[in-house]
Structure 1
């Protein structure tokens, strides 16, 4: 008898738009889907993990940036998107799970910084002005989050 001990992803995640006060936005390219540019994303590790904890962990894992560093401000936007999980990634979730709830955050940092990517997750990085960044995002919910930046952050 074979026991399946796979751990499925929890269908609750974060999207963290990393940006500067001048509204330059960091995008990272997925390693498993070249050409798919996005902000930092990631699922909760446990059902009871706070979204803010997930956001800070995912930012560090995917970029090496510490959300608590001087001048860095992580903000929970208090918004959630519910969307259908892309078919190519449904195998990561329990059978029958097709929808994900995504909590939106912003991380404002003083200036564009080089980041340390996790090579198993991402292959490239780019800083772009917010409108160009929104146009480059493969995910409509990510693009919409980037387009909200002027309402969330005053340019300096």
Structure 2
């Protein structure tokens, strides 16, 4: 695998992990205690497809396999473009101030216990979708969670 780029690529994914009854998994950021979010992460390479980034980030941040039996990863075909928070701009090349975030959903068969990456997250919780939206620190994350009833695929 090639070495990581010196700067983060300003293209990322947001993965709303949920159950069929719309319970949503939130993770508390290790670098910002009290900030709750869905799985997020930047591309490792410019040519990494967003779906591959989503699968990789889900595994890295939760230990879940997005391709496991009973799991269903879906591309919501939504992209949020937003200003990178000033506190995190140093991670990007000089002059980069905006990020494009591709939104995905990952339906799991039940509320599973994640294995957290301790450098990234302190704790986790499952909440009903509307409560999860209220807990998200990022407006684009909150909006994605509010869209869950619209994008959640029906159970089979």
TM-score in same-fold range (> 0.5): yes
Runs of at least 5 residues in structure 2 that lack an aligned partner in the other structure: none
- Which ranges of 4 or more aligned residues in structure 1 deviate by more than 6 Å? none
Residue in structure 2 matched with residue 73 of structure 1 by the alignment: 72
Over alpha carbons, which structure has the higher Rg?
1
Question: How far apart are the structure 2 equivalents of 1:128 and 1:11?
Answer: 29
Deviation at 1:153?
A: 2.0
Residue in structure 1 matched with residue 41 of structure 2 by the alignment: 42
1:68 match: secondary structure: coil
- Cα deviations across residues 23-54 of structure 1 (Å, max 9, x unaligned)? 00000000000000000000000101000000
Residue in structure 1 matched with residue 152 of structure 2 by the alignment: 153
Residue in structure 2 matched with residue 22 of structure 1 by the alignment: 21
Q: TM-score, normalised by structure 1?
A: 0.95
Residue in structure 2 matched with residue 130 of structure 1 by the alignment: 129
Residue in structure 2 matched with residue 102 of structure 1 by the alignment: 101
Residue in structure 2 matched with residue 3 of structure 1 by the alignment: none
Question: How far apart are the structure 1 equivalents of 2:149 and 2:55?
Answer: 22
- Cα deviations across residues 114-141 of structure 1 (Å, max 9, x unaligned)? 0000000000000000000000000000
1:107 match: secondary structure: strand
Q: Residues 105 and 152 of structure 2 are in contact (CA less than 8 Å); yes or no, is this contact kept in structure 1? A: no
Question: How far apart are the structure 2 equivalents of 1:97 and 1:134?
Answer: 28
Residue in structure 2 matched with residue 139 of structure 1 by the alignment: 138
| RMSD of aligned alpha carbons | 1.4
Q: Residues 23 and 155 of structure 1 are in contact (CA less than 8 Å); yes or no, is this contact kept in structure 2? A: no
Deviation at 1:155?
A: 7.2
Question: How far apart are the structure 2 equivalents of 1:87 and 1:66?
Answer: 32
Deviation at 1:18?
A: 0.1
Question: How far apart are the structure 1 equivalents of 2:50 and 2:151?
Answer: 19
Question: How far apart are the structure 2 equivalents of 1:103 and 1:95?
Answer: 23
Deviation at 1:152?
A: 1.3
